[in-house]
Structure 1
Amino acid sequence: MKYLLAFLLVLILGILGYGFYLKSIGNTNSELVIGLSVTAIAFIYMPLFIYHRYKNKKISDFTFEKFKKDLENRSK
């Protein structure tokens, strides 16, 4: 999964760079290429990255339940 994410990142950034290159030479399809690469980052790469990073974590570690309990105990 780590290598897939690295490959996707390089591929998407390469396409994004190609879109900006097309824009610099005045091609009319450049904004389409840039838009598709930004969409790929947002809807393909980011969910895969978030899944990969948090797949073995406990969700309770990322909530404020402990903080809320400590705050309630201190206010009593």
Structure 2
Amino acid sequence: MKKVEIYSSDSCGYCHEAKAFFKEQNVEYIEHNISKDMEARKALMKKGYMSVPVIIINEEEFVGFEKDKIASALNL
């Protein structure tokens, strides 16, 4: 099983879409909500990102939610 993480925020529509997609596909993921977790915000900035979603699949980083790319990376 691939390790999936998502950096998200409460007000991010693409984040909600990505999480809904993961749920539909029964993909388990770890969420780092930068709206509620300042350490997650700092970690995201340390990676060089200022926006969400950032999706990490087995160390490969995706900025934004491009469904086809994410599905391909997950072998769906």
TM-score in terms of structure 1 length: 0.27
TM-score in terms of structure 2 length: 0.27
Which structure shows the higher helix fraction? 1
Which structure shows the higher strand fraction? 2
